[in-house]
Amino acid sequence: MPDKISKTEAQWREQLTAEQYRITREHGTEAPFSGGYQVTDEHGIYHCVCCNAPLFENEHKFDAGCGWPSFDRSLTHKSIERRTDTSHGMHRTEVTCSRCDAHLGHVFPDGPRDTTGERYCINSVALDFHAGE
């Protein structure tokens, strides 16, 4: 993963849409079944909308029925970072981009048992899909 990216709040606001900023920089969540990538089945790589770091491969995406794109693994173990999230009275594992610290979503231990057993539940608005990669 290339060097860490650090920008001011004003720089992120200038670069991102209001919704992208709310999700990635303020740890928000898009409404379930609202994201454009929930049903994408085309071959390619999902990149971070903030810094363009490659994060997930479409080959590892599955339909979890939860309303958000779900993957059973990240592209590499260095693509993402995991953090404890105790917001909203819950104990969850937050997933962030390791390059720019963008909030992507959460990972849960209820993914496909025949692969990793993990479900990366990711906000579509935090991703940028590159077809054919």
The residues annotated with a catalytic role in the active site are: 121
> 6: helix, coil or strand?
coil
- Eight-class DSSP state of 67: S
Q: Which residues contact 133 (CB under 8 A, 6 or more apart)?
A: 43, 44, 45, 54
